[in-house]
Amino acid sequence: MTLNQLSSGDLIADRRADYAKMLAEAGEPQSAAELMAQALERAPDWPAGWFRLADYEEKSGRKEAAIDALRNTLRLNPDDVFGASLKLALLGATETPEQPPSVYVERLFDDYAERFDKALVEKLDYRVPEKLAALIDRTTDGRHFHYVTDLGCGTGLFGERIRHRCDYLEGFDLSANMLAKAEAKAIYDRLAQADLSLAPENSGAFGELPPARADLVSSADVLMHLGNLESVFVIADRLLAPGGLFAFSVEDAATNEGFILRPSLRYAHSEAYIADACAGRGFSLIGSERTVIRMDAGRPVEGVLFLARKPA
């Protein structure tokens, strides 16, 4: 269910919200905000409506009004399925969260699953799976892997690039709809739902399986949906056998700061942060590559691919 399909339960309020959306799309955010406010007078307990109002107010240049609308969104939807806490941080009203709300990420990709491959590959020139597989190939001289674990496997784009180079391939993702798409491709030996933002014992399927079983753990274009990466490195460390490899990508923060939240609501990480995260688990960085990982609004998004090794 997309954001604009969420009904207020009041026909007149929904109709006003639809008109407000048309005004916003026509480049009239202030008029859209005024009409959306009228809709909310009839449906004051509609969190999706407050979130839409926040967007129109922000685009109108009314920052404080946008912040108030986002706070109402959170008050009515404390689980934060809309990611209002991220928007509040970008507006300077709160500190940057170390992680996005899991329910927000899950809903985002559940909604996106049906058009994910086409949108990324054809429209955004997304090439991280190929580039990460090529980095692994160059750094390991075409090594064949026994057991590969694909974290945040999505629809299986990286799995398609590594399947011929491994005996066993498993994938984990937070989104059930993404996992269904991956399953339809019939390339994984096992798929399961899990949350990378949690410690292994709390994250679902990770805590159910024996540790130290994988000789390659991958996370292609996933870590930008997390801020603090400590849980991911703990999970990778648990899954990897001694001497195993961890291949992953990040959006480049182009700063010495640890990580930053971008207007896209994705996180970017510095190379220094990644180096510290690897050192914290005793991993050694054995390969990296700076590259464009996708296009966004017609502009290239710079990223870094990494290959790290767990101590033998």
Give the pLDDT of residue 52.
96
Is the pTM for the entire model greater than 0.95? no
What residues does each domain of the chain span?
3-95, 110-309
Tokens of 233: 């490195």
Tell me the average pLDDT of the chain. 92
pLDDT digits (tens, 9 = 90+) for 30-55: 999 999 999 999 999 999 999 999 99
Q: What percent of the chain has pLDDT over 70?
A: 96
What average pLDDT does this structure show over 66-82?
A: 97
pLDDT digits (tens, 9 = 90+) for 180-190: 999 999 999 99
Q: What band does 207 get if pLDDT is binned at 50, 70 and 90?
A: low
What phi and psi values does residue 79 have, to the nearest 5 degrees? -70, -20
Q: Which CATH superfamily is domain 110-309 in?
A: Vaccinia Virus protein VP39 (3.40.50.150)
The answer to whether domain 3-95 has CATH 3.60.21.10 is: no
- How many angstroms from the chain centroid is the CA of residue 298? 20
DSSP states of the chain: --GGG---S-HHHHHHHHHHHHHHHTT-HHHHHHHHHHHHHH-TT-HHHHHHHHHHHHHTT-HHHHHHHHHHHHHH-TT-TT-HHHHHHHTTSSPPPSS--HHHHHHHHHHHGGGHHHIIIIIS---HHHHHHHHHHHHHTS--EEEEEEET-TTSHHHHHHGGGEEEEEEEES-HHHHHHHHHTT--SEEEEB-TTS-GGGSBGGGGS-SS-EEEEEETT-GGG-S--HHHHHHHHHHEEEEEEEEEEEEB--SSSSEEE-TTS-EEE-HHHHHHHHHHHT-EEEEEEEEEEEEETTEEEEEEEEEEE---
pLDDT digits (tens, 9 = 90+) for 87-115: 999 999 999 999 999 999 999 999 888 88
